Each structure stands twice: as C-alpha cells, then as structure tokens.
Amino acid sequence: MGLANRRVSIHDMSLSLRLSEFINILNSMNCDASSVVVLQKKKHDRRRASARRSRFIGVSKNGPSWQAMITVNRRKTYIGTYKTERDAAIAFDFYSMLVHRMEGKTNFSYTKEQLWQMVGNFSDNNQVLDVYQLGF
C-alpha cells in the first residue's frame, strides 16, 4: 500500500498546540452555565438513504460499530470506532472543536463545564478522548 493510500488517523497528528489554543479559548470565555457551543444540524442529503448513513455529522456505520471521521486539510481523517452512534458523534464534536477551533461543526451543544471535562479526559488519556468516561 502506497503512502498516498495509507489511512490517516487523528492520533498520528500532534494535537498539543491545538489543545493549548483550545484551552486559551476556554479560559477567555466569561460564561459558565449556558451553552457555549451550539449544534449545527446536518444538511439534508438528497441521495438515497444508506444503511451506513448516520443522522450525525462525521459518523457512519462500520459493521456492528459506528465510526467517526473528520476532514483535516481536505483529507478524511479517522478518529475511532465506537459502540454507539451518539458516542461517535461526541468524539467527532471534540476533535472538530480541537482541529477547527470554535468554528468546527458539532452535533450537540456543550457548556463550558462539559468542554473542560472533555479537555481533562483527553489530557488524562494520552491525547485520546475516552467518550465512555465522560458520562454525558
């Protein structure tokens, strides 16, 4: 398999600088309780429905599991495989905010506290988001 065909994983990228920038953005926010990130609905797709298609952005069915992928520099980048469609959507949201800053598309709305939980989880797990530990 040539280098051009190699599957790109988000975990191959150095996200330390992005994490620092994301933390600076969170620190500069004045609000705590209200939603600081608001979901963006998935655009209606006119193509026929597929068994692999998800109702969430960046998520598709892959066998019995759900897969999350994000576009980075116009290239599909693998995030991970998850037990539920919702877990894959949460993972997509975090990496979308991390890579594309607060302009990144998300499937859900988040409070500042929830974003801090995600950052802590990501930092505690060697720069991998463990959605099963989040509890939301």
One DSSP character per residue, 69-105 reads: EEEETTEEEEEEEESSHHHHHHHHHHHHHHHHGGGS-
d(CA 66, CA 90): 12
Domain with 108 in it: 14-41+53-133
Cα gap 13→77, rounded to integer Å: 10
The per-residue pLDDT string of the chain (136 residues; one tens digit each, 9 = 90 and over) reads 444 555 556 766 678 888 988 899 888 887 655 666 666 655 555 455 566 789 999 999 999 999 999 998 888 999 999 999 999 999 999 999 999 887 889 999 998 899 999 999 999 998 889 999 998 8
Prediction pTM value: 0.80
Residue 3 included in any domain: no
Domain containing 110 — which CATH number?
3.30.730.10
Q: What 3-state class would DSSP assign to 98?
A: helix
Query: Does residue 22 lie in a domain region?
Result: yes
Total domains, the chain:
1
Has residue 4 been placed in a domain? Answer: no
